[in-house]
Structure 1
């Protein structure tokens, strides 16, 4: 299932899901959280805008263009708003949408620039549909974590899936497939092995 991070967390709390990938979440009484990846946001612009993955662009530069934003309440919007608060530029917001694909479509059509996860635009930038560059001043990142219910011992099948997710994430980052991401320093190697050694 896919949904906003808040909905996924609610499903975990209610027991409707066993585990989930979430963003910028700390452990809580009901959830055990394992940091996996620190993922960077990129500036995203229409073709021909001159952005390139090799040259970071200032957030101020992005905000000086018409701007396409996620809706309020979205995790990305919170990160972007925090960055905007440190820059004395009031962007001209042309759209607020709740779909990554719609954001990319609006940018591609020339309605404005945006800030999006590097992994979400990698193929579009490589194919020339969009242009993109890492952000600086400030550098904006979000943390991807694995969330599990705290209720008792994790069932063996759930633990097996969690271990496989950790291995897949590690391989995607190390192989350069997950653009703009670096592994968390606390990323475990194999959750089942770690748990067995602790018991």
Structure 2
């Protein structure tokens, strides 16, 4: 088993064709076919099957492609770390951002890292907290923003921000940032919410149970963008973190107000895998991400957010 074989199976899996993979790898088609067949002979199992839609990994192929991709990523990272420019932090860092924070943090983080640490290559992935945690546990991420998570045997966490959840409605509802909306009032409307088991849904369900409020969920979706679209289409109201709707509310696309009776808060944490060695590039990006979070809160771009350890509310209600 060698690197060329690993690149061949990953590329074929990604593009779905040996011919296209050969073009991507700048090889002739028989060479790619030979690399795959040699690896299949070594393993004693087929890795791909031909279908009308192209080359599709078998069950064994899916496992090998996943492991091969990680191995190639680690080799690429090692090469970047052992060939540094004197005095320059270099390396590849993969960061997971919560969907609700990506619009606020992605561009400033990339800009700052590119300006101050040009030897660092950033890879950004966005998803909900549960997915990011799984990718972090699997080694696919170096760092991730998660929420409402304590340190675990596999992860170190640091609380960065506490933020309040908001009620979100069409503009015609006239919700205002300076007038909080009780959960009982929001629950008079059908709600567009994530599916049961989602962390945000769990926070809202727990708050409803404490307040003795019955919540009627009209539509379930695990997409923040779809939640907002369905609210605007008249399918109900929703509950989202302030950071996820700040721009829309400022532009009048939606109306929004802090949730009250009870107030519901979530904690944003920076998480990293517990390991014996943290590359300098990862440490550098983690510090920059913390700075960007602090800047967003201090600048009022993250509504109803507290920087952990401070005494006041930044961003206002």
TM-score by length of 2: 0.57
Answering whether residue 164 of structure 2 is matched by residue 59 of structure 1, we say no
In 1, Cα distance between equivalents of 2:147 and 2:190: 27
- For residues 32-78 of structure 1, what are the alpha-carbon distances to aligned partners after superposition, in whole Å with 9 as ceiling and x for unaligned? 10100001110111112121001111111000111111111211111
- Structure 2 matches for 1:44-193, cutoff 5 A? 44-185=168-309
Higher relative contact order (CA 8 A, sep 6+): 1
Using the TM superposition, give the Cα deviation of residue 89 of structure 1 relative to its aligned residue in structure 2, in angstroms.
Answer: 3.2
* SS of match in other structure, 2:210: coil
Q: Distance in 1 between matches of 2:272 and 2:187?
A: 37
Once the two structures are overlaid, the 10-residue window that deviates more, 53-62 or 82-91, is 82-91
C-alpha separation between the residues in 1 aligned to 2:286 and 2:257? Answer: 32
Q: What is the alpha-carbon root mean square deviation over aligned residues?
A: 1.3
C-alpha deviations, 1:70-112, integer Å up to 9, x for none?
1112111111111111233323321111111111011112211
Specify the structure having the higher radius of gyration (Cα). 2
SS in structure 1 opposite 2:172?
coil
Q: Secondary structure at the match of 2:137?
A: helix
Can you give the 5+ residue segments of structure 2 that lack an aligned partner in the other structure?
A: 1-124, 311-317
Q: Which moved more, 1:40-49 or 1:88-97?
A: 88-97
Deviations along 1:96-154, one digit per CA (max 9) or x if unpaired, are 11111111011112211111111111111111111100111111111000001111131
Q: What are structure 1's unaligned runs of at least 5 residues?
A: 187-199
Matched residue count: 186
Secondary structure (helix, strand or coil) at the match of 1:48 reads helix
TM superposition score normalised by structure 1: 0.89
2:155 is matched with which residue?
31
Q: Distance in 1 between matches of 2:163 and 2:190?
A: 25
